[in-house]
Amino acid sequence: MWFDKIPDKTIVWHAQVNTTTGLVPDGSRVTLTIDRGLILTDPRGQELWRSSLDSGSVSRGRITDAGNFALLSEDSETELWSSFANPTDTLLPTQSIEVGGNLSSRRTETSLAKGRFRLRLGDDGDLQLLVLNSKSLAETDEYFSYYSSKTNDPSNPGIQLVFNQSGYMYVLQSNDSRFYIKDEVPKSSSDYYHRAVLHFDGLFALYYHSKGQGNNGLGDNRRPKCQCPEMFSLVDSSDEYGDCKPDFKMQTCGAEDSKTADVNAGVNPYEFIRLNRTKFPTSDYGKYANYDEELCKASCLSDCFCAAAVFRSDQVCLKKKFPLSFGQRSLDGDSDTFIKVLNRAADVPSTGKKGKNRDWLIIGCSVLLGTSAFVNFIFVALYSKKRLKQARDIGATSTAIESNLRVFTYRELVAATGDFMEELGRGAFGIVYKGTLKVNSDSEVTVAVKKLDRFAQEDEKEFKNEINAIGQTHHKNLVRLIGFCNEGQNRLIVYEYLPHGTLADYLFRRQRPSWEDRRRIAVGIARGILYLHEECSEQIIHCDIKPQNILLDENYCPRISDFGLAKLLMMNQTHTLTNIRGTKGYLAAEWFRNSPITSKVDVYSYGVMLLEIVCCKKAVDLEDSVILIDWAYDCFRQGSLDDLIEDNLVEIDDMETVEIYVKIAIWCIQEEPGLRPNMRIVTQMLEGVVQVHDPPNPSP
């Protein structure tokens, strides 16, 4: 919804769709239904968003001149759902927020997806502006609050945030007193349109727009400005709110820093850049009273762990480690911050040692907060990246496989996916989007682009694992890798697009797939795992075999995908030690025993999935309180396998094969790895080449 009489399209409400941009693909549609209200679906008919109704039947929708769109009941004027009760990033006059309600910022200036800032009236009555964890953006992962109305007095708490018809905004308290967000008298509502917006950068602003003249009330000079500190520069020069990278080598506590100091004959290789009236309230590891500024700086300079020092006007010195976070700069600030940088006057040679060079990133974001006065905040978070080591590692990966794979630029993949418009699925390490690549001027090919959404060191490892594991594999039951992108912080993998989705979607739909198709899929997956275990130059343990990681091509042929957790072994290795990987319900017992991990963990996962293929039931069914592996063994032991297939006639006509498959699965899920067959034997049992004996209790 938007203002109709303002020249520029000013959106005041939108459906918050769970995509990167908050937009939906062409061909999507909105439908008004009796039982669910508004439903937004994509061209394939999949639901993207809907209005949440607690009860009642919808008869019609109505929009008011105040900007509220409501769904009304069949027999009265009762509102079953309304946009005013479900706001996005904007409040309009006559709209209010109840206790527990909130506004959500956009992700970026152009993306309508939920961002990292919230305006919330808490259960204690306090109105707060909050920052969420920038990676998960989960409502429960609140990082900190940067504004508070302090209306949380237990004897007189805030009970409602009101934006009234006249343009006043205040927190209404339990004794009917009012805490005004802005004291000054607003422009007349008869002459001006009003709105309040929580912007993508954390700015919460009150706007007015003349009904006659057409000018906004908040000029550009009131907007926050972001910039990198001296000796840091933007990773992406086109994104002023993005990450900053250092233009020098940061200090470590390794031997190379000691040698550097010796080479310079006593000249300290590091100095400070000064940020006036700036403080960092969090992340200090040392606090010293009765220090002067020079002593504070000297203490940090001599400490290899110290990344920055904050000196307060009360003679307190605070030493900070990376990552620095929530830096605040204000005109009346009482602190100065000194960030340690490479000494520009010192000629510091590089040691060239592997694995020792470390870089840091600064994430910069400014927030302008409006009450009676405006205060600028600069958020700075720094975190370690061994970028030189990454460059060597990824460079080696590229050299090894670039003859088979295409290296894409990030810009190419943005264009191919329409700015990551259509989401196909998501997992622990990234989101997969649909894209289109031009083969030549006359033809194009559809692809799936996996975008890693986290950039910690372990995620870099996942990226390299997936590239290494699947880059040179060629098997009809494995997803084909087309190329990848490793540009700046962007890690993306481009696969062939498989039109029939995941095996999970195929198995667990209402209409049970044919038994013959399921048998063929089970054998195909087994052959793909066998190829990984025995027919590659390096044995590959997938570590996360499950229906969600099996894709189906145009002929419903299964393809194993998602090698982000894969563990590679040389052919003369038999086992490895590693941290727990995989998914609940598919994990073998050795993951929890700190035991050596072998290819038998994939055999276990396959056994669980084989039971799912036979029964068309999930490994863990919370609705029916069923653990599939336990239920399947009970049915086998009691001779009641027909309970597993729920009287489906096709399977009943082939109970001999059903029993064989269940017995194979029980052999695969033996708690003792030594009792499990390898995938070659599993494949031979599925194909009828090897006799299948009755298995023992898998969990004695």
- In which residue are the tokens 């609705």 written? 623
Report the C-alpha gap between 27 and 498 in whole angstroms: 21
Buried b or exposed e, range 30-39, using 16+ CB within 10 angstroms: eeeeeebbbb
Among residues 377, 351, 353, the alpha carbon closest in space to that of 366 is found at 377
Give CA–CA dist 96/92, Å, rounded: 8
SS3 537: coil
φ, ψ (nearest 5 deg) of residue 564: -60, -25
Pairing of strands 567-570, 538-541: antiparallel
Name the residue among 35, 37, 17, 30 with its Cα closest to residue 82: 37
Compute CA distances 442 → 162, 437, 439, 445, 588, whole Å. 58, 12, 8, 11, 49
Q: Is 284 exposed, middle or buried (0-12, 13-18, 19+ CB in 10 A)?
A: middle
Annotation-wise, does 451 bind a ligand? Answer: yes
| 543, 582 contact by CB (below 8 A) | yes
CA 513 to chain centroid, in Å, comes to 33
- Return the biggest CA–CA distance within the chain: 88
What gap in Å lies between CA 335 and CA 651, rounded to an integer? 75
634: left (phi over 0), alpha (psi -120 to 50) or beta: alpha
Helix (H, G, I), strand (E, B) or coil at 37: strand
Give the 3-state secondary structure of 77-104: CCEEEECCCCCCCEECCCEEEECCCEEE
Cα–Cα–Cα angle for 146, 148, 153, rounded to 5 degrees = 150
Positive or negative CA dihedral for 535, 538, 539, 543?
negative
Q: Hey, what amino acid is at 588? A: A
Q: What angle do CA 118, 426, 120 make, to 5 degrees?
A: 10
CA gyration radius, the chain: 30
Catalytic residue among 336, 544, 562, 602: 544
The set of residues, in sequence order, having a beta carbon less than 8 Å from that of 190 and lying 6+ positions away, is none
C-beta neighbour count of 261 within 10 angstroms: 16
* Beta bridge pairs of residue 276: none
Given a contact cutoff of 8 angstroms between Cβ atoms, the answer to whether 204 and 119 are in contact is: yes
Residue type, position 83, single letter: S
How remote is the C-alpha of 646 from its chain's centroid? 39
Q: What are phi and psi of 118, to 5 degrees?
A: -135, 140
Residues 6+ apart with CB under 8 A from 647: none
Q: Which helix (H) or strand (E) holds 270?
A: strand 270-275
Q: Encode 617-639 in three state secondary structure.
A: CCCEECCCCEEHHHHHHHHHHHC
Closest CA to 665 of 650, 647, 677, 648: 677
Amino acid at 640: S
To the query of whether residue 634 is one of the catalytic residues in this protein, the response is: no
**Residues whose CB falls within 8 Å of the CB of residue 610, separated by 6 or more in sequence, listed in order:** 522, 661, 664, 665, 668
Handedness of CA 152, 155, 161, 164 (dihedral sign): negative
Residues 6+ apart with CB under 8 A from 68: 82, 83, 84, 92, 94, 95
Binding-site residue ranges for ATP: 451
Q: Mind telling me the catalytic residues?
A: 544
